[in-house]
């Protein structure tokens, strides 16, 4: 399991050093004592010596060299003890899961660890190893974000080795729970787990991995208290972490660089306290100390990036624009080589705001779009973990064990009753057994009632999470509207100025071509802004101003305005109106927009020289409008998302015309606000027909009299 270092968020840190991960504690501290359980034949002395040497190389020097030594030794000694074979599988599992990040191969070795014990029938003789095997399978599942499966393995490991684990292993178990609960934002509870793990690890062998984990636990507890709003406790534990590094780190001079990295991380986390208190002078000093340490080659560059972003936020607060820009440029270069999803989210947001302040709107939009995409991805991953309550999950597993036991007890009751029919002398005993089990059942019913109550509480928590998601969606719409609104006027100005410049007669052809390109680009941008503003604004019946309109005239006017556009692609629009006028109560502007959008799409996605047929007919008492083309059609895999806002189904036209993916979503809102329906029929590469059904309720009262 790679080391997870707590920061402003909880990124996963790669296991690039020997002391990263729980396997150090288990292998170096627990397994030597396990070998005393081996009764079926000890390993040859030479193999045992080789295995011990390779283990040290694996966790202190080089993983690949150690695995090569072990594999060679296994090839020469095929008959080794179960405990030694288990050690070999575990180091391979640790390598693939924590170093190579190949979770599939790591899972195979974890399965091998479990099978080695179960298939040989020696599982009961190796409770510690069996517990470790389950923990390893849990780690693999957790890496794959299969959280329920991971918790099941952790729970099995806990049950299996409960009475055989020393405090070192318990410390690692508490550490795991603390990390998960921190991610679930139960910060005060996470702090307790980290403190508990620190106390339990006090009895571990005194070596550098143990020291490094202990300083991390103090830092994690401090950050948890900060997140919980307990500032004084956070300061106290940050200071404890620094003191611990100063006093204990001196004992390992050969690891002075690693100890310095740990100190840099604490400085960066500690600065958050002073930022919250607006003591920016101290905060800046701590942040600079932190990233100067961790920007060095081989140090924690990911932490340095996050630390620099904290400093960037201070520059924003102080309106120090020049320093902000230089710092953001440096961070951008670092992100090109050291990938950090959490840092990229914050960096793109800061860059978008910077360029907006400089009125460089194109650059600002580019960074804002990347920020929105990355943030959605990070939020989804986080939401997946927030949907699971770890403590409740473990209790669910315990209750499942209780239910299984109850089923077994009920089966025994049937056996006893059957025996009672044959042996009358056992009747009294059977009655007593039934009475005893009935009392057990009552107690278990109470337990199950408590479980139902907790499940109800968990459902309420999920409902709150859904509400937060809805609020976030509304906030995104608000931001889009604000950005689009602020961009509309300057871009419209650019378009107007470009049109005036094109009227100049002294321009060269190259200049005209560039100006025409600017005009086309600004026109497309204004269209996109208009669609964004409409897409993010709710269309309601109250917003629509209706009037009495002849539907034939409305459709005919829409067609006439688009005939020129169709002629550019040598296309012809064929109109088949109703035989008589039909008066409907509609919003002229909005309904014109829907019909124009459908015809424009047919023009855009049809080949040159083809016909587009627009019909107005009756379906019973309702009016049906259809727009049919023989264009490229809509593939089956895109049909379900055609009417979605910001759909991924958008495609360029047959001659490269741009498509923003908002028009059909807006059209659907308008038609439904009129009480109508809109749908389509399409075959890929053969054509598409869109239908609009305006129901009888849309007609003007008394319209039938006008037809006479």
pLDDT in tens, 289-301: 898 998 888 888 8
Residue 20's region, left for phi above 0, alpha for psi from -120 to 50, else beta, is beta
pLDDT for residue 679:
95
What 3-state class would DSSP assign to 508? coil
* φ, ψ for residue 218, nearest 5 deg: -65, -45
Residue 9 confidence (pLDDT) above 60: no
More confident residue, 398 or 457: 457
Residue 469 confidence (pLDDT) above 50: yes
Q: Between vectors from CA 115 to CA 111 and to CA 117, what angle results, nearest 5°?
A: 125
pLDDT for residue 637:
87
pLDDT in tens, 319-337: 888 888 888 888 888 888 8
Mean pLDDT, to the nearest integer, of 83-99? 86
More confident residue, 534 or 71: 71
Alpha carbon 224 to its chain's center: 22
By the 8 A CB rule, do 265 and 303 touch? Answer: yes
Paired tokens of 429: 């005993």
How far is it, in rounded angstroms, from Cα 592 to Cα 408?
71
pLDDT for residue 226:
92
Residue 266 confidence (pLDDT) above 70: yes
Paired tokens of 156: 């099995």
CB atoms within 10 A of CB 639: 15
Angle between helices 256-276 and 231-249 (to 10 degrees): 160
Residue 452 confidence (pLDDT) above 60: yes
Percent of the chain with pLDDT over 90: 21
Class of 541-706 in CATH: alpha beta
More confident residue, 649 or 203: 203
Q: Between vectors from CA 475 to CA 666 and to CA 542, what angle results, nearest 5°?
A: 45
b/e per residue 16-51 (b: at least 16 CB within 10 A): ebbbbbbbbbbbbbbbeebeeebeeeebbeebbebb
pLDDT for residue 88:
87
pLDDT for residue 175:
83
More confident residue, 597 or 159: 597
At 698, the pLDDT band (50, 70, 90 cuts) reads low
pLDDT in tens, 616-659: 999 998 999 999 999 999 988 888 888 887 665 567 778 877 77
Percent of the chain with pLDDT over 70: 78
Q: DSSP code of 71? A: H
More confident residue, 577 or 162: 577
Mean pLDDT, to the nearest integer, of 693-700? 72
How far is it, in rounded angstroms, from Cα 174 to Cα 181?
10
Mean pLDDT, to the nearest integer, of 570-575? 94
pLDDT in tens, 474-496: 666 667 666 766 676 688 778 78
Paired tokens of 325: 């820009």
Of the listed ranges 117-121, 484-488, 578-582, the least confidently predicted one is 484-488
Residue 32 confidence (pLDDT) above 50: no
CB atoms within 10 A of CB 147: 18
How far is it, in rounded angstroms, from Cα 259 to Cα 214?
12
Mean pLDDT, to the nearest integer, of 143-172? 72
Alpha carbon 40 to its chain's center: 48
Residue 343 confidence (pLDDT) above 50: yes
Residue 30 confidence (pLDDT) above 50: no
More confident residue, 227 or 660: 227
Question: Which uninterrupted H or E stretch holds 596?
Answer: helix 588-604
At 221, the pLDDT band (50, 70, 90 cuts) reads very high
**Residue 548: beta bridge partners?**
585
**Residue 612: beta bridge partners?**
573
Instruction: Give 408-415's long-range contacts (Cβ < 8 A, gap of 24+).
Output: 409/437, 409/440, 410/437, 412/437, 413/437
At 396, the pLDDT band (50, 70, 90 cuts) reads low
Q: DSSP code of 424? A: G
How far is it, in rounded angstroms, from Cα 164 to Cα 123?
13
Paired tokens of 347: 């960096």
- R_g of the chain computed on alpha carbons: 35
What 3-state class would DSSP assign to 638? helix
Paired tokens of 217: 């636990």
Of the listed ranges 38-47, 132-141, 277-286, 670-679, the least confidently predicted one is 38-47
Q: DSSP code of 99? A: I
pLDDT for residue 178:
80
DSSP 313-335: HHHHHTT-HHHHHHHHHHHHHHH
Q: DSSP code of 657? A: -
Q: Using alpha carbons, list the distances in angstroms from residue 184 to 460, 633, 637.
A: 16, 46, 36
* φ, ψ for residue 689, nearest 5 deg: -125, 120
How far is it, in rounded angstroms, from Cα 201 to Cα 346?
35
**Residue 72: beta bridge partners?**
none
How far is it, in rounded angstroms, from Cα 144 to Cα 138?
10
DSSP 108-126: HHHHHHHHHHHHTT-GGG-
pLDDT in tens, 541-551: 445 788 999 99
């Amino acid at each position: 399991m790679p080391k997870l270092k707590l920061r402003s968020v909880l990124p996963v840190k790669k296991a690039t050093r020997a002391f990263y991960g729980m396997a150090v504690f288990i292998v170096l501290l627990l397994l030597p004592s396990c070998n005393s359980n081996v009764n079926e034949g000890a390993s040859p002395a030479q193999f045992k010596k080789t295995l011990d040497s390779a283990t040290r190389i694996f966790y202190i020097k080089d993983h690949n060299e150690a695995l090569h030594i072990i594999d060679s030794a296994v090839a020469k000694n095929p008959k080794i003890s179960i405990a030694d074979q288990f050690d070999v599988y575990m180091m391979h599992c640790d390598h693939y899961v924590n170093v190579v990040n190949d979770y599939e191969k790591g899972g195979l070795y974890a399965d091998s660890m479990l099978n080695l014990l179960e298939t040989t029938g020696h599982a009961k003789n190796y409770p510690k190893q069996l517990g470790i095997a389950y923990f390893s399978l849990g780690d693999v599942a957790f890496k794959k974000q299969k959280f329920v499966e991971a918790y099941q393995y952790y729970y099995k490991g806990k049950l299996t080795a409960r009475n055989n684990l020393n405090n070192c292993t318990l410390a690692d178990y508490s550490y795991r729970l603390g990390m998960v609960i921190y991610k679930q934002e139960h910060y005060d509870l996470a702090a307790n787990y980290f403190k508990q793990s620190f106390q339990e690890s006090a009895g571990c062998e005194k070596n550098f991995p143990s020291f490094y984990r202990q300083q991390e636990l103090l830092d994690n507890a401090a950050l948890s208290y900060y997140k919980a709003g307990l500032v004084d406790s956070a300061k106290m534990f940050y200071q404890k972490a620094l003191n611990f590094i100063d006093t204990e780190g001196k004992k390992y001079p050969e690891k002075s660089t690693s100890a310095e990295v740990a100190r840099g991380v604490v400085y960066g986390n500690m600065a958050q306290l002073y930022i919250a208190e607006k003591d920016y002078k101290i905060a800046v000093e701590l942040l600079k100390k932190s990233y100067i340490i961790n920007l060095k080659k081989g140090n924690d560059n990911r932490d340095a990036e996050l630390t620099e972003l904290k400093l960037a936020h201070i520059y924003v607060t102080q309106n120090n624009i020049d320093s902000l820009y230089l710092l953001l440029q440096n961070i951008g270069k670092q992100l090109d080589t050291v990938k950090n999803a959490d840092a990229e989210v914050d960096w793109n947001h800061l860059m978008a705001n910077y360029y907006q302040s400089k009125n460089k709107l194109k650059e600002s939009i580019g960074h804002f779009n990347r920020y929105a995409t990355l943030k959605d991805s990070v939020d989804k991953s986080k939401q997946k973990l927030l949907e699971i309550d770890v403590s409740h999950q473990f209790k669910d597993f315990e209750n499942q064990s209780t239910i299984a036991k109850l089923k077994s007890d009920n089966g025994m009751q049937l056996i006893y009753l059957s025996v009672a029919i044959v042996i009358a002398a056992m009747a009294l005993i059977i009655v007593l057994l039934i009475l005893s089990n009935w009392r057990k059942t009552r107690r278990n019913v109470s337990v199950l009632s408590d479980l139902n109550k907790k499940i109800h509480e968990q459902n309420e928590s999920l409902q709150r999470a859904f509400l937060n998601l809805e609020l976030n969606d509304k906030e995104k719409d608000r931001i889009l509207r604000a950005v689009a609104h602020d961009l509309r006027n300057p871009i419209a100005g650019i378009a107007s100025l470009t049109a005036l410049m094109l009227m100049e007669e002294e321009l060269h052809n190259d200049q005209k071509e560039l100006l025409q390109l600017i005009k086309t680009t600004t026109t497309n941008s204004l269209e996109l802004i208009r669609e964004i503003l409409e897409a993010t604004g709710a269309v309601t019946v109250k917003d629509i101003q209706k009037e009495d309109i002849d539907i034939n005239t409305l459709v005919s006017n829409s067609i006439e305005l688009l005939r020129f556009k169709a002629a550019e692609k040598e296309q012809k629009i064929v109109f088949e109106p109703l035989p008589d006028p039909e008066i409907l109560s509609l919003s002229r502007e909005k309904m014109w927009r829907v019909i124009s959008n459908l015809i424009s799409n047919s023009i855009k996605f049809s080949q040159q020289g083809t016909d587009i047929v627009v019909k107005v007919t009756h379906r019973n008492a309702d009016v049906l409008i259809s727009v049919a083309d023989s264009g490229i059609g809509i593939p089956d895999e895109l049909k379900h998302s055609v009417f979605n806002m910001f759909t991924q189904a958008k495609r360029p036209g047959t001659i490269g015309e741009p498509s923003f993916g908002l028009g059909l979503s807006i059209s659907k809102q308008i038609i439904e606000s009129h009480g109508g329906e809109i749908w389509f029929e399409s075959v890929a590469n053969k054509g598409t027909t869109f239908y609009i059904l305006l129901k009888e309720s849309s007609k003007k009262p008394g319209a039938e009299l006008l037809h006479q």
